[in-house]
Amino acid sequence: MSKQFRLLITALIVMTLFTACSTTHVATQSKRAAIEQLLLSEALIRSLPQEADSLLPISTGANVFLEISGISGDEKLVRDVLAGWLGQQGYFVQNEAAKASYRINAILSSFGTEAGKMLVGVPEVEGNFISIGELAFYKAEYQTGYANFFFDIFELPSGRHIFRTSSFLAETFYNYYTAFLIFDFNRTNLIKPPRLHSFQHE
């Protein structure tokens, strides 16, 4: 048996042992992964200040009609969160514009997530004769949630524009790291993100 052939067999055995130790993580079984949902919802909530007295030129107790404009497809979630926040500030959110004294248009400039990845090691390889799982000596996966919007306020029933707020914005992040194939940890500013490994009782 030639030396080159023995080296090839040894390399194949080593790679087989490594891939036998690999595991697969399915990112989501829903439309969005739980971590992505938290990144978005917490970014939206954090963008809203506790007090709105100096932000909105509307007296507390006024009836307002809220509309949301955006291209992310998350307008219902944003509307419900903003309606709750306006209610906490003392405003009465109406379902019909005819019952309101002001219309508040919330314009979503940006509402979504960004992701990136860095790998030091061997990426996953799929071929006709051999498939090799990813071998990560160091791997970092970055996810950022971002919310950016502003209010346009109109007087009703005249429709006169009376005020535009500055932008409400916030970021959230979740970074997941793998080192030496099996050690993993994360850094995040989310309150309590789900674990990526098997469920454990507290």
Q: What pLDDT, on the 0 to 100 scale, is given for residue 155?
A: 95
Q: What pLDDT, on the 0 to 100 scale, is given for residue 22?
A: 47
Q: What pLDDT, on the 0 to 100 scale, is given for residue 20?
A: 45
User: Domain ranges in the chain?
Assistant: 31-188
- Which one-letter amino acid corresponds to residue 17? L
The pTM of this model reads 0.74
Residues 6+ apart with CB under 8 A from 120: 136, 137, 138, 139
Q: What pLDDT, on the 0 to 100 scale, is given for residue 15?
A: 56
Distance of alpha carbon 155 from its chain centroid, rounded? 34
Per-residue pLDDT of the chain (202 residues; tens, 9 = 90+): 577 666 666 655 555 555 544 445 555 555 778 899 999 999 999 999 987 667 888 988 999 999 999 888 889 999 999 999 999 999 999 999 999 999 999 999 999 999 999 988 777 777 677 777 777 788 999 999 999 999 999 999 999 999 999 999 999 999 999 888 788 888 999 988 877 655 455 5
Residues 6+ apart with CB under 8 A from 164: 150, 151, 152, 153
Q: What pLDDT, on the 0 to 100 scale, is given for residue 9?
A: 65
Domain spanning 31-188: CATH 2.60.40: no
Q: Assess contact for 68 and 82: CB atoms under 8 A.
A: yes
